[in-house]
Amino acid sequence: MAIFGANGAGKTTLLRSIAGLIGNEASQITYRGRSIGNARPDVVAQMGLAMVPEGRQLFPSLSVEENLMIGGRVNREGPWNLRKVYDLFPILEERKAQASTSLSGGQQQMVAIGRALMANPDLIMFDEISLGLAPVIIRDIYKALPGIVGGGMSAVIVEQDITKALAVSSRVYCLQEGRVSLEGRSDAVSREDIARAYFEVE
């Protein structure tokens, strides 16, 4: 599933609310029949929701491997472990002892993705997955996505690049000023629909 929308539309706010970083009324967010709007972020994480935050936000005082290991703290059952993350992004194994801040932006994004995967979430949320990354890196990351989502994991992607968002998702939502201005199957929405939803030319 992909979410897009102009700056300030509320995409990040939505993801942060789901993750529990922004408090809401309990009933405002429901996950698997449970009201989690007011749940603490660590409790939400235990329930199987993980987030790759905008701007990576790695822990600077932890090494690459420690960043990944702390992601595994949630300790849920599942296919992902340190070995699998290194298989997915081999460069990280070479750099595992380095400070996470010494990596390039793309490698940092790999760590951030690996860190979220280590929790073996049922749902992984990517906030601005390609923001600030070189096109070639973005391509690599998108290439890795099917391998990530393949194992029954659902993904929510917030993306500015609508073409990319449509290509990898099955459903899209467009947000505008905090409201859903368009929703539909990714292969069924037209460019005109999106433009209208994005800019509200009604």
Give the binding site for other proteins (CB under 8 A).
Answer: 19-21, 40-42, 45-46, 50-51, 53, 57, 59-62, 66, 69-71, 73-75, 99-101, 115, 119
Q: Distance (Å, rounded) from C-alpha 139 to C-alpha 122?
A: 24
Of 27 and 75, the one with the shorter C-beta distance to other proteins is: 75
Cβ atoms of 39 and 31 within 8 Å: the answer is: no
Distance in Å, CB of 134 to other proteins, minimum: 21
The residue among 69 and 162 lying less far from other proteins, judged by its C-beta, is: 69
Distance CA 133, CA 152 (A): 27
Helix (H, G, I), strand (E, B) or coil at 72: helix
Instruction: Kindly state the smallest distance separating residue 73's Cβ from other proteins, in Å.
Output: 5
Nearest to 92 by CA among 119, 75, 114: 114
Work out how close the CB of 199 gets to other proteins at its nearest, in angstroms, rounded to a whole number. 32
Q: How far is the CB of 67 from other proteins (least distance, A)?
A: 8
Q: Provide the 8-state DSSP code for 100.
A: G
Give phi and psi for 199, each to the nearest 5. Answer: -105, -5
For residues 178 and 13, what is the distance between their CA atoms, to the nearest angstrom? 9
Measured from the CB atom, the residue of 73 and 191 that comes closer to other proteins is 73
11/164 with CB nearer other proteins: 11
Shorter beta-carbon distance to other proteins: residue 119 or 156: 119
CB of 149 to other proteins, least distance (A): 19
- Phi and psi, residue 126, nearest 5°: -105, 120
